Chain A
């Protein structure tokens, strides 16, 4: 797939230009809205997730924002799992709240609570397949039933599982989100996000006027009437992406396309190494607990020496990279409480399942023996209050 490094596209004729701008024909106009390299990534993601189509974004957070902007406006309400990434919590509790969109957070397995939290103005139910960093695995079918009973879509962040391990649409999800930065890219080179839609949600059910009423943003077009099953995807692209400007760059899409080609191979290797490392940690007396979702290669553990021992452990590691990312070919380590989830209050952190002493590992593709050698040294160093090696 070539990198179409271009801002715009030559029209064949004035008539074709007008047809494109009126959304009556297919083709590229301007790379803020679509680009051939980005479109190739989008279609492959839609295919991998079993969806109707996809829209790529500059980041996972941008994809999430655009889903919200596609369905909700000031005065609306969202219901969200509390076992999620800290950045999502702040996007919802700070930025979205400032824009007049309120969110209720509940444990992802509090099914009655989630059902009861849905109000007439609730526009979506949000959860992560595997919670970051708690490792809580969502019961997608039950969440989908709760959402659908109330006439709202289930939105699932599938970043940690990837479509290789789980395809949420097959379990009832209507929208699937990814931080493409993680396993899809696989090499920690690119920030990106993508949304995939199932094409089966009834957007004309009366609850989504942004899709089923004439749109002032596009010549009073009624998206559900004009585009049928494509209503959500078309509005996400031609109105929300157009207005927000958070498109994926062609270069980034190309890097992600390289990553997708080895996704299956990498996931198998991630899982193999994860098994070996979990087994190793469970044999060690310095380790107080291991919380492992058995779905993917990201998990947390705690040391008997608590938060301070965790800090010493991370500082003593040589091979593992101490950085704020997951899903890389390289093995990664971080303490969520003081980094990725540090904007959360103590209460929110507890609710998200982030123990203060938790150390999060993202197991990479190196030789398990080397990874274990490094962990072994660091555990000893942490227990003895100094750096060994």
Chain B
């Protein structure tokens, strides 16, 4: 199912524990590093980089592929994707094969064919959203920067 509402994304984040970040970089200037580092240091997710070109990020061992990750760790709750839109079909195929529950396409990673395939295979799908931003939306982070969380409540998170 394509999760298009804030409450659907919130529920996904709340029911998920493990996150495999496909294309996570160890270059601190890259957005994928920013999100990986945020998820590692500011949340309780068990987060792992998936990248065949690096050994680790900040002490967390990287796996060369989702298949390699699943062989040791089982299927991740969320596959968070930082790859060119044209190259994500293979990531979707692998995510389906290992039984991942959800796939999250980051900003700009929009491939209609890949989205439809993941949706048809029963995965929860988030498109063109940032996992860091969505987590921060529901945990008070956005509000610290004057950003509109869209949440109107008398109880601050």
Interface residues of A (CB under 8 A from B): 15-16, 19, 22-28, 34, 36, 38-40, 42-43, 46-47, 51-56, 219-221, 225-226, 228-230, 233-234, 237
Which chain B residues border A53 with CB–CB below 8 Å?
A: 142, 145-148
Cβ of B99 within 8 Å of any chain A Cβ, yes or no, is no
Considering the complex, which residues of chain B in the window 101-157 have a beta carbon less than 8 Å from any beta carbon of chain A? 107-108, 130, 133, 136, 140-150, 152
Cβ of B28 within 8 Å of any chain A Cβ, yes or no, is yes
Q: Which residue of A lies closest to B150 (CB)?
A: A47
Cβ of B42 within 8 Å of any chain A Cβ, yes or no, is yes
Q: Which residue of A lies closest to B140 (CB)?
A: A26
B57 to chain A, nearest CB (A): 12
Contact present for B38 and A25 (CB under 8 Å): yes
| Listed A/B pairs (14) with beta-carbon separation below 8 Å | A16-B41, A19-B42, A24-B33, A24-B38, A28-B144, A34-B144, A34-B146, A39-B144, A43-B147, A46-B146, A53-B145, A220-B29, A230-B147, A237-B145
Separation of A53 and B137 alpha carbons in the complex (Å): 12
Contact present for A43 and B148 (CB under 8 Å): yes
Contact present for B34 and A34 (CB under 8 Å): no
Separation of A230 and B31 alpha carbons in the complex (Å): 13
Separation of A39 and B143 alpha carbons in the complex (Å): 6
Q: Which residue of B lies closest to A19 (CB)?
A: B41
Contact present for B31 and A225 (CB under 8 Å): yes
Separation of A239 and B31 alpha carbons in the complex (Å): 18
Cβ of B18 within 8 Å of any chain A Cβ, yes or no, is no
Which chain A residues border B145 with CB–CB below 8 Å?
A: 26, 34, 39, 53, 233-234, 237
Which chain A residues border B130 with CB–CB below 8 Å?
A: 228
Contact present for A19 and B148 (CB under 8 Å): no
A15/B41 contact (C-beta < 8 A), A22-B28, A26-B141, A42-B146 known: yes
Contact of B34 among A40, A43, A226 (CB under 8 A): A226
Separation of A15 and B143 alpha carbons in the complex (Å): 22
Contact present for B146 and A24 (CB under 8 Å): no
Max count, chain A CB within 10 A of own CB: residue among B28, B41, B147: B147
Considering the complex, which residues of chain B in the window 1-53 have a beta carbon less than 8 Å from any beta carbon of chain A? 28-29, 31, 33-34, 37-38, 41-42
Which chain B residues border A228 with CB–CB below 8 Å?
A: 107-108, 130, 133
Contact present for A52 and B148 (CB under 8 Å): yes
Contact of A43 among B33, B38, B143 (CB under 8 A): B143
Which chain A residues border B147 with CB–CB below 8 Å?
A: 42-43, 46, 52-53, 230, 233
A24/B148 contact (C-beta < 8 A), A221-B29, A228-B130 known: no
Contact present for A51 and B28 (CB under 8 Å): no
Which chain B residues border A234 with CB–CB below 8 Å?
A: 145
Contact present for B146 and A54 (CB under 8 Å): yes
Separation of A53 and B141 alpha carbons in the complex (Å): 13
Q: Which residue of B lies closest to A51 (CB)?
A: B148
Separation of A142 and B14 alpha carbons in the complex (Å): 44
Q: Which residue of A lies closest to B106 (CB)?
A: A228
Which chain B residues border A24 with CB–CB below 8 Å?
A: 33-34, 37-38, 41
Separation of A51 and B149 alpha carbons in the complex (Å): 10
Which chain B residues border A47 with CB–CB below 8 Å?
A: 148, 150, 152
Q: What 7 pairs across the A-B complex have the smallest Cβ distances?
A: A42-B146, A26-B141, A53-B147, A46-B148, A228-B107, A24-B34, A226-B31
Considering the complex, which residues of chain B in the window 68-84 have a beta carbon less than 8 Å from any beta carbon of chain A? none
A40 to chain B, nearest CB (A): 8
A237 to chain B, nearest CB (A): 7
B48 to chain A, nearest CB (A): 18
Q: Which residue of B lies closest to A204 (CB)?
A: B108
Contact present for B144 and A27 (CB under 8 Å): yes
Separation of A372 and B84 alpha carbons in the complex (Å): 67
Separation of A39 and B149 alpha carbons in the complex (Å): 12
